[in-house]
Structure 1
Amino acid sequence: MRETSILLVEDDPAISMIVEEMMIDLGMSNVTTAGRLPAAVEAASSGGFDCAIVDLKLHGQDTFEVARILTKRNIPFAFFTGYSADTLREYAEQPVLPKPFAESDLKAILDHLLKVPGGA
C-alpha cells in the first residue's frame, strides 16, 4: 500500500513542527513542509501529494497562488488559519482548520480530505 503524502504549508517553524508531529502520530509520516511562498508554490507545482494543509498567510503574503495550483492539480486541501472565513475570497467553500486546534480536529480534516471511510 502506498504511503499518504501530505504538503504542509506553514511559516511558523514551531507550529509546523507540532502539526507534522501530530500527522506522524496519526500514521502519516510522508509530510513535506514549506514555510515560504516560493517553496510552497514549487512544492504544489511538483505535485504528488494526496492532500495539503495550507496556512492562509506566509510572512504576510496570502497563499491563493498555492491554492490555485492545488485546485488545478486536483489535490484536495484545507486552509489552516486564525483569520476569519471572509478572508478566503473565492475559496470560501474550502475546508478550514482553524487555529488553534486539537489533534482530533486535524484528524477530522485529513479524513475529510483523504475521504477515508470511518477515519484512518
Structure 2
Amino acid sequence: MHESYEPAKGATDGPGPRVLVVDDDPTVAEVVTGYLDRAGYAVDHAGDGPAALARATASPPDLVVLDLMLPGMDGLEVCRRLRARGPVPVIMLTARGDEDDRILGLEVGADDYVTKPFSPRELVLRVESVLRRARPGTDRQPVSAAGLTVDPAARRATRDGTELALTLREFDLLAFFLRHPGRAYSREELMREVWGWEFGDLSTVTVHIRRLRGKVEDDPARPRLIQTVWGVGYRFETGRPAEPSEV
C-alpha cells in the first residue's frame, strides 16, 4: 500500500466529511487514515468495536470504514449496532476472500466492501463514491408507487405512510425502481445505474434485492413488486401477483 493520492479539487477547502476508521492493525489504520486525511476528510480512528461505538456516539461520522476481524466484538456486530442507530454508510474491510463473508457484511447493512490487501487509493475512491451517493442528487422530487414513497431530499422512504429503515444502497435501489417501473434490468445495469460501478461483484446486487424485498414486500418469498425476470434480472411492478421466486 504505497501509492500517491492527490485530493480532489476543493477537497481540503474547510473541514471535510467525518470518517471513522475502525481497524486493530496499526499499520493499516495509519495508511488508511493518512490517505483519507490527504483527500480532505476529517478522520477519527478506533481499534476495537466498543471504542468505535463510543466514538460514533460522541461524534457521529458521515461514513465508517470498518474491519471485519476485530478483537472482542467483530465488525459484523459493530455494523449491526451502528445500523440500529441510524443510516450511516459503512464500508467493510475484510482479509478473507470467501464470498460468504462479503455477503454477511452486506446482509447486516454494509454499503460496500473492500478485500485486503487493497489499494488505499481505491478505498478513497470508494469512500468518495458512497458519500457522493449519500448526498441528495439533482432529482430531489419525491416519487411514489404501490404504496411506497421515497423523498431524496430528506433521504426518507415510507411504505403506506410508515417509515422504512433502509441502508444507503437500499434507498437508492428503491428510488431507482420507483422511477423506472415496468422495465427489466440486469444486475450489471443495476450496478452501473444505482451503484455507479462499471464492474464489481454482482452478488452485491443480489443481496440488496433480497434485503429490500424483505422490507417492501408483503411476502418476500412471493414478491409482487420486485420481480425476478429469469435470464435477465429484475423488474419493478406496481402490484401484479407473482410466482414464488428465488433471488
Q: Give TM-score scaled by structure 2 length.
A: 0.42
**What stretches of structure 1 move > 4 A for 4+ residues in a row?**
none
1:100 equivalent to 2:125? Answer no
| Paired residue secondary structure (1:20) | helix
Whole-Å separation in 1 of the counterparts to 2:15 and 2:34: 20
Whole-Å separation in 1 of the counterparts to 2:32 and 2:79: 19
- The equivalent residue for 2:17 is 4
1:66-85 mapped onto 2 (5 Å cutoff): 66-72=78-84, 73-83=86-96, 84-85=98-99
Whole-Å separation in 2 of the counterparts to 1:106 and 1:93: 15
Q: Which has the higher contact order (CA 8 A, sep 6+)?
A: 1
Contact kept in structure 2, 1:86 and 1:92, CA below 8 Å: no
Extract unaligned runs of 5+ from structure 2: 1-13, 138-247
Whole-Å separation in 2 of the counterparts to 1:42 and 1:112: 26
Larger Rg: 2
Please identify which structure carries the higher helix content. Answer: 1
1:34 shift after superposition? 0.5
- How many residues align? The count is 116
- The equivalent residue for 2:54 is 42
Aligned partner of 1:111: which letter? E
The CA RMSD over aligned residues, in Å, is 2.3
Whole-Å separation in 2 of the counterparts to 1:18 and 1:104: 10
Cα separation, partners in 2 of 1:2 and 1:14, compared to 1, 3 Å: closer
1:110 equivalent to 2:127? Answer yes
Identity of aligned residues (%): 28
Q: Give TM-score scaled by structure 1 length.
A: 0.81
Contact kept in structure 2, 1:44 and 1:69, CA below 8 Å: no
1:61 shift after superposition? 4.2
